[in-house]
Amino acid sequence: MKVIIFRLALQSAVIAIVSNSAVHAEGAAPVPQQELQAKLTYCKTCHGSAGQGYRGSFPIPRLAGQQPEYFENQLRAFIEHRRENRFMYGVAHALNPAMLPALAAHFKDLNPPPVGGAQKQLIPTGQKLFEEGAPDADIPPCASCHGADAKGNGPFPRLAGQLHDYIFRKLVNWSKERGQDPNNPDTSAIMAPIAHGLTEAQITAVAAYLNYLE
Protein backbone atom coordinates (compact mmCIF):
# COMPACT_ATOMS: atom_id res chain seq x y z
CA MET A 1 0.00 0.00 0.00
CA LYS A 2 2.82 2.40 0.92
CA VAL A 3 4.59 1.63 -2.34
CA ILE A 4 1.39 2.53 -4.25
CA ILE A 5 1.10 5.81 -2.35
CA PHE A 6 4.75 6.55 -3.10
CA ARG A 7 4.24 5.97 -6.82
CA LEU A 8 1.11 8.16 -6.90
CA ALA A 9 3.01 10.95 -5.18
CA LEU A 10 5.81 10.46 -7.66
CA GLN A 11 3.48 10.79 -10.63
CA SER A 12 1.91 13.96 -9.20
CA ALA A 13 5.32 15.53 -8.66
CA VAL A 14 6.43 14.71 -12.19
CA ILE A 15 3.30 16.33 -13.67
CA ALA A 16 3.82 19.46 -11.59
CA ILE A 17 7.49 19.76 -12.51
CA VAL A 18 6.93 19.19 -16.22
CA SER A 19 4.22 21.87 -16.24
CA ASN A 20 6.43 24.31 -14.35
CA SER A 21 9.38 23.66 -16.66
CA ALA A 22 7.25 24.29 -19.74
CA VAL A 23 6.20 27.69 -18.44
CA HIS A 24 9.79 28.74 -17.78
CA ALA A 25 11.00 27.44 -21.15
CA GLU A 26 8.67 29.57 -23.23
CA GLY A 27 10.25 32.53 -24.97
CA ALA A 28 13.87 31.71 -24.07
CA ALA A 29 16.28 33.20 -26.62
CA PRO A 30 19.54 31.50 -27.69
CA VAL A 31 22.62 32.33 -25.62
CA PRO A 32 25.59 33.87 -27.47
CA GLN A 33 28.47 31.38 -27.48
CA GLN A 34 30.87 33.85 -25.89
CA GLU A 35 28.53 34.41 -22.94
CA LEU A 36 28.01 30.68 -22.50
CA GLN A 37 31.73 29.97 -22.48
CA ALA A 38 32.35 32.70 -19.93
CA LYS A 39 29.72 31.23 -17.63
CA LEU A 40 31.04 27.68 -18.13
CA THR A 41 34.53 28.82 -17.18
CA TYR A 42 33.07 30.25 -13.99
CA CYS A 43 31.14 27.04 -13.20
CA LYS A 44 34.19 24.84 -13.77
CA THR A 45 36.24 26.88 -11.32
CA CYS A 46 34.36 25.06 -8.54
CA HIS A 47 32.84 22.00 -10.21
CA GLY A 48 35.95 20.83 -12.05
CA SER A 49 37.33 21.23 -15.55
CA ALA A 50 34.93 18.59 -16.93
CA GLY A 51 32.20 19.04 -14.35
CA GLN A 52 33.50 16.00 -12.47
CA GLY A 53 33.14 17.60 -9.05
CA TYR A 54 35.82 18.78 -6.67
CA ARG A 55 36.78 17.99 -3.10
CA GLY A 56 38.17 21.05 -1.32
CA SER A 57 37.25 22.31 2.15
CA PHE A 58 33.84 20.78 1.35
CA PRO A 59 32.63 18.54 -1.51
CA ILE A 60 31.38 20.33 -4.63
CA PRO A 61 29.07 18.15 -6.72
CA ARG A 62 29.58 16.52 -10.07
CA LEU A 63 27.51 18.19 -12.81
CA ALA A 64 28.74 16.03 -15.67
CA GLY A 65 26.07 13.82 -17.18
CA GLN A 66 23.32 15.39 -15.10
CA GLN A 67 19.74 15.26 -16.35
CA PRO A 68 18.98 18.66 -17.95
CA GLU A 69 15.50 18.89 -16.47
CA TYR A 70 16.79 18.26 -12.97
CA PHE A 71 19.71 20.65 -13.54
CA GLU A 72 17.38 23.50 -14.52
CA ASN A 73 14.90 22.71 -11.74
CA GLN A 74 17.60 23.01 -9.11
CA LEU A 75 18.92 26.30 -10.44
CA ARG A 76 15.37 27.65 -10.25
CA ALA A 77 15.05 26.25 -6.73
CA PHE A 78 18.12 28.26 -5.69
CA ILE A 79 16.78 31.39 -7.38
CA GLU A 80 13.36 31.03 -5.72
CA HIS A 81 14.80 30.14 -2.29
CA ARG A 82 13.18 26.70 -2.40
CA ARG A 83 16.65 25.24 -1.97
CA GLU A 84 19.03 26.88 0.49
CA ASN A 85 22.63 27.61 -0.46
CA ARG A 86 23.99 31.11 -0.04
CA PHE A 87 26.69 30.77 -2.67
CA MET A 88 24.52 29.10 -5.30
CA TYR A 89 21.72 31.60 -4.76
CA GLY A 90 24.05 34.37 -5.86
CA VAL A 91 25.34 32.37 -8.83
CA ALA A 92 21.92 31.21 -10.06
CA HIS A 93 20.19 34.55 -9.45
CA ALA A 94 22.59 36.24 -11.86
CA LEU A 95 21.69 33.90 -14.74
CA ASN A 96 19.27 35.00 -17.44
CA PRO A 97 16.49 32.48 -18.20
CA ALA A 98 18.07 31.30 -21.47
CA MET A 99 21.34 30.45 -19.74
CA LEU A 100 19.77 27.68 -17.63
CA PRO A 101 18.99 25.25 -20.49
CA ALA A 102 22.25 26.16 -22.23
CA LEU A 103 24.30 25.19 -19.17
CA ALA A 104 22.21 22.07 -18.62
CA ALA A 105 22.75 20.91 -22.21
CA HIS A 106 26.50 21.40 -21.95
CA PHE A 107 27.00 19.44 -18.74
CA LYS A 108 24.65 16.65 -19.89
CA ASP A 109 27.13 15.66 -22.60
CA LEU A 110 30.19 15.46 -20.35
CA ASN A 111 31.29 12.08 -18.98
CA PRO A 112 34.60 12.23 -17.09
CA PRO A 113 35.65 9.34 -14.80
CA PRO A 114 34.33 9.48 -11.22
CA VAL A 115 36.52 11.26 -8.69
CA GLY A 116 36.28 8.24 -6.35
CA GLY A 117 37.56 8.15 -2.78
CA ALA A 118 34.78 6.20 -1.02
CA GLN A 119 35.37 3.02 0.98
CA LYS A 120 35.20 0.24 -1.58
CA GLN A 121 34.32 -2.42 0.99
CA LEU A 122 30.92 -0.71 1.39
CA ILE A 123 30.00 -1.10 -2.28
CA PRO A 124 28.10 -4.43 -1.97
CA THR A 125 25.95 -3.10 0.89
CA GLY A 126 25.32 0.12 -0.97
CA GLN A 127 24.41 -1.71 -4.17
CA LYS A 128 21.86 -3.83 -2.32
CA LEU A 129 20.24 -0.73 -0.83
CA PHE A 130 20.19 1.00 -4.20
CA GLU A 131 18.61 -1.96 -5.97
CA GLU A 132 16.31 -3.29 -3.23
CA GLY A 133 15.75 -0.45 -0.79
CA ALA A 134 15.16 -1.13 2.90
CA PRO A 135 11.67 -2.72 3.12
CA ASP A 136 11.73 -2.89 6.92
CA ALA A 137 12.02 0.90 7.02
CA ASP A 138 9.64 1.50 4.07
CA ILE A 139 12.54 2.76 1.95
CA PRO A 140 11.93 2.06 -1.78
CA PRO A 141 14.79 1.08 -4.11
CA CYS A 142 16.78 4.10 -5.25
CA ALA A 143 16.74 2.58 -8.74
CA SER A 144 12.96 3.03 -8.96
CA CYS A 145 13.47 6.76 -9.58
CA HIS A 146 17.13 7.17 -10.46
CA GLY A 147 17.29 4.25 -12.90
CA ALA A 148 19.07 0.92 -12.75
CA ASP A 149 22.28 2.61 -13.89
CA ALA A 150 21.78 5.59 -11.51
CA LYS A 151 21.92 8.00 -14.46
CA GLY A 152 18.58 9.58 -13.59
CA ASN A 153 15.51 10.35 -15.66
CA GLY A 154 14.00 13.78 -16.35
CA PRO A 155 13.38 15.46 -12.98
CA PHE A 156 15.21 12.67 -11.12
CA PRO A 157 18.95 13.31 -10.92
CA ARG A 158 21.90 11.28 -12.04
CA LEU A 159 23.71 9.90 -9.00
CA ALA A 160 26.31 7.78 -10.81
CA GLY A 161 29.81 9.09 -10.15
CA GLN A 162 28.66 11.68 -7.62
CA LEU A 163 31.06 12.49 -4.79
CA HIS A 164 30.22 10.22 -1.88
CA ASP A 165 30.75 12.88 0.77
CA TYR A 166 28.50 15.28 -1.14
CA ILE A 167 25.70 12.68 -1.20
CA PHE A 168 26.18 12.06 2.52
CA ARG A 169 26.03 15.76 3.42
CA LYS A 170 22.92 16.35 1.32
CA LEU A 171 20.97 13.40 2.71
CA VAL A 172 21.77 13.92 6.39
CA ASN A 173 20.93 17.63 6.09
CA TRP A 174 18.01 17.23 3.69
CA SER A 175 15.39 19.39 5.38
CA LYS A 176 17.88 22.15 6.15
CA GLU A 177 18.46 22.74 2.44
CA ARG A 178 15.59 21.29 0.38
CA GLY A 179 11.88 21.97 0.42
CA GLN A 180 12.20 25.46 1.90
CA ASP A 181 8.90 26.53 0.32
CA PRO A 182 6.26 23.90 1.21
CA ASN A 183 3.72 25.67 -1.01
CA ASN A 184 5.93 25.18 -4.07
CA PRO A 185 7.39 21.66 -3.81
CA ASP A 186 9.35 19.66 -6.36
CA THR A 187 10.67 16.10 -6.35
CA SER A 188 12.59 16.85 -3.17
CA ALA A 189 9.29 16.37 -1.34
CA ILE A 190 9.43 12.70 -2.31
CA MET A 191 12.99 12.33 -1.04
CA ALA A 192 12.38 13.88 2.38
CA PRO A 193 10.95 10.78 4.14
CA ILE A 194 13.56 8.59 2.42
CA ALA A 195 16.44 10.79 3.57
CA HIS A 196 15.03 10.87 7.10
CA GLY A 197 14.45 7.10 7.13
CA LEU A 198 17.98 6.07 6.18
CA THR A 199 20.62 5.62 8.87
CA GLU A 200 23.98 7.31 8.46
CA ALA A 201 25.57 3.90 7.91
CA GLN A 202 23.12 3.17 5.09
CA ILE A 203 23.73 6.57 3.52
CA THR A 204 27.49 6.03 3.68
CA ALA A 205 27.15 2.65 1.98
CA VAL A 206 24.87 3.72 -0.86
CA ALA A 207 27.01 6.83 -1.43
CA ALA A 208 30.10 4.61 -1.73
CA TYR A 209 28.36 2.44 -4.34
CA LEU A 210 27.24 5.46 -6.38
CA ASN A 211 30.66 7.10 -6.10
CA TYR A 212 32.30 4.56 -8.40
CA LEU A 213 29.56 4.17 -11.02
CA GLU A 214 30.39 5.51 -14.47
- Tell me, what's the pLDDT at 28? 56
Domain boundaries along the sequence of the chain: 2-211
Q: What phi and psi values does residue 60 have, to the nearest 5 degrees?
A: -110, 130
As separate numbers, helices (DSSP H) first and strands (DSSP E) second, the chain gives 11, 2
pLDDT grade, residue 42 (50/70/90)?
very high
Indicate whether 13 pLDDT > 60: no
Indicate whether 66 pLDDT > 50: yes
| CA dihedral over 147, 152, 156, 159, signed as positive or negative | positive
Closest to 139 (Cα-Cα) out of 124, 150, 129: 129
- 2-211 is classed CATH 1.10.760.10: yes
Q: What percent of the chain has pLDDT over 70?
A: 86
Can you give the C-alpha Rg of the chain in angstroms?
17
pLDDT grade, residue 19 (50/70/90)?
very low
Q: Which helix (H) or strand (E) holds 36?
A: helix 33-47
pLDDT digits 0-9 by tens, 152-177: 999 999 999 999 999 999 999 999 99
